[in-house]
Structure 1
């Protein structure tokens, strides 16, 4: 019943033109596969192995479109992910990644396979928060050996923004994620209660991701202000988040009967912050 909170920073790209996308479908595009576990999407980097049974739906190539500036790694992978999803895939396996260089291209360029598998669970390394995607014991993949608590949730908030100069704006996206590989679950003492407690930690992280989005919306008018204020705003909100997570643990550790009231309060705050649930902002560019 321990929470480890990870605060991650940002990536930024102010751009002119978009990369060129080439998709070669192996099969006719179809709706996303029905899975045996919760729906999701998995990106496997070129340095990571993937040996599971999968149906190949197509090959995707993201390359420099000429005068391309909006081609940082996150944007390039996001483009490939969108193309894979349109083919009905739930896995993007990157098999080639060319880094920017001075002579050929300043862009990240990738080649990837669009795949689909029946169940993503064995391969997931993280879970992005969704209202219908609840944590399960199988999602906690770290070893329980020599661990002092019944469970530990490692979750965090990250954000990045990208845009095009000629459009005069950037799109900022905030994400709440659960780190499967650094979270553990013993399940030896009232596992249902313990799992609900860990879900509470993940939901609290989502609440503060929304509050971070709200703070940016209220305090930042353009990219110049964003660059000047983002770190201070982020630090303040994440400090508040950690304090709240610690209070949740300490009160429930002392008296488990307090957990239902805590979970009700968390659910109420999720509802109250629903207006920021998309965790996306459009911010005008000012140089």
Structure 2
């Protein structure tokens, strides 16, 4: 599972003007995605919010945008939110379940890379930033949301191991294909 709270904040912030930061700052305990730092169950700090799931990963794409001397700049980061992520029973939680939750975070990074790629390919006019940037990010976030839902559906929340392995291979391949858009 994932969290998609950034888009309304992003659009609302952009309405204030192109030089404003477009995203709510990540909480101090938030974790930025890194290939060399996988999630552990200790990262999941919240309490369960539903009986339907064994765990929940809260992640988002933190996008900060601005214009300096009429030059557009953006910083896009995939972020895991420990205070909103939980595991029902950490003592009994499986490695397979953690791999499933990790892939939710990996999907967040994949879509952050796609957004970085899209931002690198378009010329955004700082005086008319809001409509173009808002449309671009809205489309990106909707694509991310749909893929997250399809991932849970196709893998049955990680219980369908052949589909889980397929998704893991596909996401890793896509991350490699977009390596040049990894956060540095």
Q: TM-score, normalising length from structure 1? A: 0.53
Could you say which structure has the larger radius of gyration?
Answer: 1
How much has 1:272 moved relative to structure 2?
0.6
How much has 1:183 moved relative to structure 2?
0.7
Native 8 Å contact 1:6 1:155 kept in 2: no
1:131-146 equivalences under 5 Å are 131-144=35-48, 146=50
The question of 1:269 aligning with 2:171 is answered: no
SS at match of 2:3: strand
RMSD: 2.7
| 1:215 corresponds to which of 112, 115, 118 | 118
Tell me which stretches of 4 or more aligned residues in structure 1 moved more than 4 Å.
Answer: 10-14
Runs of 5+ consecutive residues of structure 2 not aligned to the other structure: none
Q: TM-score, normalising length from structure 2? A: 0.80
How far apart, in 2, do the equivalents of 1:270 and 1:239 lie? 19
| 2:31 corresponds to which of 118, 122, 127 | 127
For residues 72-119 of structure 1, give each alpha carbon's deviation from its aligned partner in whole angstroms, at most 9, with x where no partner exists: 789xx9xxxxxxxxxxxxxxxxxxxxxxxxxxxxxxxxxxxxxxxxxx
For residues 166-219 of structure 1, give each alpha carbon's deviation from its aligned partner in whole angstroms, at most 9, with x where no partner exists: xx5243111111111111013465520011101100010111111112222223
How much has 1:238 moved relative to structure 2?
0.7
Aligned partner of 1:258 in structure 2 is 163
SS at match of 1:244: helix
Runs of 5+ consecutive residues of structure 1 not aligned to the other structure: 15-71, 78-122, 280-287
How far apart, in 2, do the equivalents of 1:13 and 1:136 lie? 38
The question of 1:150 aligning with 2:83 is answered: no
How far apart, in 2, do the equivalents of 1:184 and 1:264 lie? 25
* Higher share of residues assigned strand: 1
How far apart, in 1, do the equivalents of 2:50 and 2:64 lie? 36
* Higher share of residues assigned helix: 2
Aligned pair count reads 172
For residues 30-69 of structure 1, give each alpha carbon's deviation from its aligned partner in whole angstroms, at most 9, with x where no partner exists: xxxxxxxxxxxxxxxxxxxxxxxxxxxxxxxxxxxxxxxx
Native 8 Å contact 1:201 1:245 kept in 2: yes
